[in-house]
């Protein structure tokens, strides 16, 4: 008892002393960015050019495999829909498995399976993986395309087109892409009933033959397996996949607008306005500007606590959500977008607030705390995601397909931490091009046209143009 009392006295006498050593009013200085150890996948390449990445993870008795085709994008033409039809027919039947047998086998094994013109995916228990990967290989290497199935799948796609014809969001997204890139650009093309009806079964067979080729493909396998055994399995299943040269594809990319304009798309059944500011950008993941751009975008509208949403939702009450995004591509231009949806009565006001926030990040340096907090969020998300085997595999795939430095992800946090306020200002001026952008608004014309023709920003009326739902200009502009 005496000993216990002595210990208690010692504890209470020491505790105040310990707390007195910490001044909680002083924010600790941030340490150096943590070092992330990212394991390297086992890599090998088949003679036909198929590149394979293996990531062992024995925590659960499951294995997943993803086949990714790194093909150059397909420009638009009078047969838009060939890609969709090829995707719809793949996996229905093979030279070895009749219609319905693939689904039957996958269900029996309790596995997951999907295949399309862009690749394939399977997931199963480890003990069934050899069979499941065999089904994937058979679907990719030995598809059977039948006219009866072709007609059935075409009718399904026509039903989707009919359904989307009244979908305000689908109409808005299509118009935005066409207005930015043009109808013949890979990012601006779209499928109609007319273009789909131009596609025949021979087009599907030709598309498959030219584009599903091993020398443009990556196979990523993750899970509970032995690498040497899986390597033998992959070689045996995919060695007969014939290497080919893919056709050359080219397209024209129109320049950015010469000045800021409002492009209005009338959607009579709309119940609110879809608003987007957009301009084209040229940005690759390996570019020096990549890290400053993703931080600048995060500050502007990368999440629910960032500038656009604070201003348009919390301060003004115009919307539930406002975001921004910046695309990257090694093949072509992408877009910077700042977007929201609002009720008709405040559409013109929301446009002004959107533009003000873009202008602000282009002209006024961000505050130290704001930049620091965004970096902390990025670091936390990156560290958390890096614990996932699938993320590790995606990192390795990006390094291959995007031509990145082999230490790109190992130095990711260091590069995030190096971004300065002057970097943010510089890339915002370069990539968030408010002076040569498009404001695309989709909504009910009877509620909006008169207001939108008179929107002023910085004392000047923004030029107004009207378009149909497919991005064709109408002659009711001012």
pTM of the prediction? Answer: 0.88
Number of domains forming the structure of the chain: 2
Which of 270, 264, 314 shows the shortest CA–CA distance to 438? Answer: 264
Do 70 and 191 lie in a common domain? yes
| Range of the structural domain that residue 280 is part of | 261-474
Q: Does one domain contain both 316 and 453?
A: yes
pLDDT tens, position by position, 249-286? 888 888 888 899 999 999 999 999 999 999 999 999 99
Q: What is the 3-state secondary structure (H, E, C) of the chain?
A: CHHHHHHHHHHHHHHHHHHCCCCCCCCCCCCCCCCCCCCCCEEEECCCCCEEEEEECCCCCEEEEEEEECCCCCCCCCCCCHHHHHHHHCCCCECCCCCCHHHHHHHHCCCEEEEECCEEEEEEEHHHHHHHHHHHHHHHHCECCCHHHHHHHHHHHHHHHHHHCCCHHHHHHHHHHHHHHCCCCCCCCCCCHHHHHCCCHHHHHHHHHHHCCHHHEEEEEEECCCHHHHHHHHHHHHCCCCCCCCCCCCCCCCCCCCCCEEEEEECCCCCCEEEEEEEEECCCCCCCCHHHHHHHHHHHHCCCCCHHHHHHHHHCCCCCCEEEEECCCCCCCEEEEEEEEECHHHHHHHHHHHHHHHHHHHHCCCCHHHHHHHHHHHHHHHHHHCCCHHHHHHHHHHHHHCCCCCCCCCCHHHHHHCCCHHHHHHHHHHHCCHHHCEEEEEECHHHHHHHHCCCEECCEECCEEEECCCCCEECCCC
Quick check: is 412 in a domain? yes
Is the predicted pLDDT of residue 121 greater than 60, yes or no? yes
Assigned domain for 13 exists: no
Taking only the tens place, the pLDDT of each residue in 109-118 is: 999 999 999 9
- 95 and 139 both lie in a single domain: yes
CA–CA dist 410, 275 (Å, integer): 38
85 within domain boundaries: yes
Per-residue pLDDT, averaged over 361-375, amounts to: 96
329, 432: one domain: yes
pLDDT tens by residue, 286-322: 999 999 999 999 999 998 889 999 999 999 999 999 9
Tell me whether strands 51-56 and 62-69 are parallel, antiparallel or unpaired.
unpaired
> Is there a domain that residue 256 lies in?
no
Residue 29 is assigned to a structural domain of this protein:
no
Q: Can you give the CATH number for the domain in which 438 is found?
A: 3.30.830.10
Same domain for 396 and 467? yes
The answer on 272 and 207 residing in a single domain is no
* pLDDT reported for residue 305: 85
pLDDT of residue 459: 94
């Amino acid at each position: 008892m005496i000993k216990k009392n002595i210990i208690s006295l010692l504890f209470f006498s020491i505790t105040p002393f310990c707390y007195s050593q910490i001044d909680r009013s002083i924010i600790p200085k941030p340490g150096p960015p943590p070092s992330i150890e990212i394991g390297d996948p086992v890599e090998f390449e088949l003679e036909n050019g198929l590149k394979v990445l293996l990531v062992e993870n024995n925590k659960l008795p499951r294995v997943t495999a993803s086949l990714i085709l790194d093909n150059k994008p397909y420009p638009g033409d009078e047969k838009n829909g060939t890609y969709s039809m090829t995707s719809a027919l793949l996996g229905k039947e093979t030279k070895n498995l009749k219609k319905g047998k693939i689904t039957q086998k996958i269900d029996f094994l309790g596995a997951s399976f999907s295949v399309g013109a862009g690749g394939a995916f399977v997931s199963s228990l480890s003990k069934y993986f050899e069979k499941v990967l065999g089904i994937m290989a058979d679907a990719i290497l030995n598809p059977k395309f039948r006219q009866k199935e072709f007609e059935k799948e075409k009718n399904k796609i026509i039903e989707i087109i009919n359904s989307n014809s009244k979908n305000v969001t689908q109409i808005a997204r299509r118009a935005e892409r066409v207005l930015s890139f043009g109808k013949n650009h890979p990012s601006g093309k779209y499928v109609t009933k007319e273009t789909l009806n131009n596609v025949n079964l021979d087009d599907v067979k030709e598309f498959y033959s030219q584009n599903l080729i091993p020398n443009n493909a990556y196979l990523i396998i993750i899970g509970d397996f032995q690498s040497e055994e899986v390597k033998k399995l992959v070689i045996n299943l995919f060695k007969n996949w014939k290497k080919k040269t893919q056709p050359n594809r080219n397209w024209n990319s129109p320049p950015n607008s010469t000045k800021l304009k409002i492009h209005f798309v009338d959607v009579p059944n709309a119940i609110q306005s879809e608003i987007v500011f957009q301009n084209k950008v040229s940005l690759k993941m390996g570019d020096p500007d990549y890290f400053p751009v993703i931080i600048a975008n995060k500050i502007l509208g990368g999440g629910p606590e960032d500038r656009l949403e604070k201003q348009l939702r919390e301060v003004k009450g115009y919307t539930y959500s406002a975001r921004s995004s910046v695309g990257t591509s090694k093949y072509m231009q992408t877009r910077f977008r700042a977007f929201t949806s609002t009720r008709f009565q405040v559409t013109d006001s929301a446009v002004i607030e959107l533009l003000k926030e873009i202008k602000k990040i282009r002209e006024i340096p961000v505050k130290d705390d704001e930049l620091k907090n965004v970096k902390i969020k990025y670091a936390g998300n990156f560290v958390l995601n890096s614990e996932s085997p699938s993320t590790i595999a995606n990192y390795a795939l990006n390094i291959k397909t995007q031509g990145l430095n082999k230490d790109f992800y190992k130095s990711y946090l260091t590069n995030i931490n190096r971004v300065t306020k002057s970097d943010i200002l510089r890339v915002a001026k370069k990539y968030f091009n408010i002076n040569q952008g498009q404001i695309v608004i989709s909504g009910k014309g009877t509620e909006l046209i008169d207001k939108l023709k008179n929107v002023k920003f910085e004392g000047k009326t923004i030029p107004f143009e009207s378009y149909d739902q497919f991005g064709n200009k109408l002659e009711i502009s001012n």
